[in-house]
């Protein structure tokens, strides 16, 4: 693997840094391609993940992982402008311990070496990179994949001055009366009659809720995205007001979730030596906040591109470029530009206009809105869906969507011009 080996360095083809869903997905996809993979993890690698992960069920069914759903709801609906809309599509809650255990088993089966050590520094050489761990240990790899989340340790991206974040405050627990229809899942309930008229002028939030069975529910007050992000105490207060309006009292709290992550970050520079995956590579869908489905769809392709690059003898920057080009193809970069533009639009809408927008959006044919939300529509179809949305929307919304404000045009052009 090259000269001047640092003392007692750990050697591998690919060093994957992190232990969240992105890192495990990538480490196993690479190891399945017979590559020598080391997973570098700051803390206990098998520490339970803190987040609750929801997903459209078909995104797990398609790769044959439907058994990793802890819950699956047939009744999935939203409320916009006071009207309940049945989405006619199954939604699921990922069994996060099950998914972690599944990847752990694959790591062990395919010989992934797991090192508990935080990555602190990196040095690139023509044919390899050396990562230094907090312990002082060095790790040498042909390629480094940074999967350390939304604030990555190595991946660089252009500075973003106004980071819009999705924020949510949720409670898993038992309630005096069911907070939602038993057996159901609520994607977005935008009713706001429980808020004062001043609160109704503030950025809108919605209820995301699920019946977890045995009398337990998860209810979460969510802000799709806002800059600056809505504070947790405000979301908590709105959730309490919402429940109070229904005469619903929290009787037992099993878990509290405070969710905060960036939605509108620019894409990383695709010429850099370290390759990102997951939050580190800006893979969160800018208009919905979802990411796990994308990991499962795009992980195997990225692993295949890396394995092929190595087989063909690519080194250093040439190998990284091939990997980045697979993860963020020109088509995906342009789609990302459209989604960021769309999010910027949505953040400007007041509650009524936002609900009107979603009401129109979810009345598009299901393959279009589903493809939009899961980022599975190729660019041409995505553009077609946007045109249909414009045609179907009332004039108030259409005018707003067509008239670019502030930095919206820059965002769109950045994507379309592949910058």
d(CA 392, CA 54): 29
- The nearer residue to ligand FAD, 18 or 299, going by C-beta atoms, is 18
Would you tell me which residues interact with ligand FAD (CB under 6 A)?
17-23, 40-43, 51-55, 118-119, 147-149, 153, 257, 259, 261, 278-280, 284, 290-292
DSSP class of residue 279 equals G
- The nearer residue to ligand FAD, 225 or 292, going by C-beta atoms, is 292
**Least separation in angstroms between CB 172 and ligand FAD:** 12
Helices marked H in 116-252: 197-201, 232-245
Strand pairing report for 37-41 and 10-17: parallel
- The nearer residue to ligand FAD, 292 or 397, going by C-beta atoms, is 292
- The nearer residue to ligand FAD, 14 or 291, going by C-beta atoms, is 291
- The nearer residue to ligand FAD, 45 or 309, going by C-beta atoms, is 45
**Least separation in angstroms between CB 307 and ligand FAD:** 21
**Least separation in angstroms between CB 131 and ligand FAD:** 9
Q: List Cβ neighbours of 137 (8 Å cut-off, separation of 6 or more).
A: 8, 9, 10, 115, 117
- The nearer residue to ligand FAD, 91 or 175, going by C-beta atoms, is 91
Q: Three-state DSSP class for 161?
A: coil
* Residues in the chain, total: 419
**Least separation in angstroms between CB 270 and ligand FAD:** 18
**Least separation in angstroms between CB 367 and ligand FAD:** 20
- The nearer residue to ligand FAD, 163 or 416, going by C-beta atoms, is 163
Q: List Cβ neighbours of 153 (8 Å cut-off, separation of 6 or more).
A: 17, 119, 120, 146
**Least separation in angstroms between CB 218 and ligand FAD:** 11
Helices marked H in 14-148: 21-31, 57-61, 96-109
d(CA 354, CA 396): 11
**Least separation in angstroms between CB 405 and ligand FAD:** 27
- The nearer residue to ligand FAD, 23 or 274, going by C-beta atoms, is 23
Tokens, residue 64: 């044959």
**Least separation in angstroms between CB 50 and ligand FAD:** 7
Q: Is the dihedral of CA 370, 375, 380, 386 positive or negative?
A: positive
Closest residue to ligand FAD, Cβ-based?
20
Whether 127 contacts 5, CB under 8 Å: no
110 exposed, middle or buried (CB, 10 Å; 0-12, 13-18, 19+)? Answer: middle
Distances (CA, A) of 373 to 102, 185, 340, 342, 411: 26, 17, 13, 12, 19
């Amino acid at each position: 693997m090259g000269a001047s080996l640092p003392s007692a360095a750990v050697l591998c083809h690919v060093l994957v840094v992190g232990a969240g869903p992105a890192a495990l997905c990538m480490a196993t996809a690479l190891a399945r391609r017979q590559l020598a993979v080391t997973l570098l993890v700051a803390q206990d690698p098998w520490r339970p993940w803190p987040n609750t992960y929801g997903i459209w069920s078909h995104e797990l069914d398609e790769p044959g992982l439907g058994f990793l759903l802890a819950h699956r709801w047939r009744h999935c609906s939203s409320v916009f402008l006071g009207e309940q809309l049945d989405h006619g599509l199954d939604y699921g809650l990922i069994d996060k311990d099950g998914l972690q255990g599944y990847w752990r088993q694959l790591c062990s089966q395919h010989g992934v070496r797991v090192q508990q050590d935080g990555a602190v520094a990196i040095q690139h050489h023509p044919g390899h990179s050396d990562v230094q761990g907090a312990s002082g240990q060095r790790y040498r790899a042909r390629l480094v994949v940074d999967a350390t989340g939304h604030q990555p340790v190595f991946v660089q991206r252009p500075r973003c001055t106004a980071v819009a974040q999705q924020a949510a405050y949720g409670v898993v627990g038992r309630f005096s009366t069911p907070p939602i229809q038993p057996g159901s899942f609520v994607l977005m309930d935008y009713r706001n009659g429980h808020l004062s008229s001043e609160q109704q002028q503030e950025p809108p939030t919605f209820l995301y809720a699920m019946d977890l069975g045995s009398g337990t529910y998860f209810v979460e007050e969510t802000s799709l995205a806002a800059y600056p992000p809505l504070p947790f105490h405000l979301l908590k207060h709105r959730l309490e007001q919402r429940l109070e309006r229904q005469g619903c009292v929290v009787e037992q709290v099993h878990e509290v979730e405070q969710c905060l992550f960036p939605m509108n970050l620019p894409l990383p520079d695709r010429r850099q030596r370290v390759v990102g995956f997951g939050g580190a590579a800006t893979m969160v869908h800018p208009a919905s906040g979802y990411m796990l489905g994308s990991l499962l769809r795009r992980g195997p392709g990225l692993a295949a591109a890396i394995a092929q690059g190595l087989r063909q003898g690519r080194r250093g920057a040439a190998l990284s470029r091939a990997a980045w080009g697979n993860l963020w193809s020109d088509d995906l970069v342009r789609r990302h530009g459209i989604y960021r533009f769309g999010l910027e639009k949505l953040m400007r809408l007041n509650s009524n206009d936002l609900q009107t927008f979603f009401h129109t959006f979810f009345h598009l044919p299901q393959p279009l809105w589903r493809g939009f939300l899961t980022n599975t529509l190729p660019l041409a179809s995505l553009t077609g869906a946007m045109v249909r949305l414009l045609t179907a929307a009332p004039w108030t919304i259409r005018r707003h969507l067509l008239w670019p404000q502030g930095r919206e045009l820059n965002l769109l052009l950045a994507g379309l011009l592949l910058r």
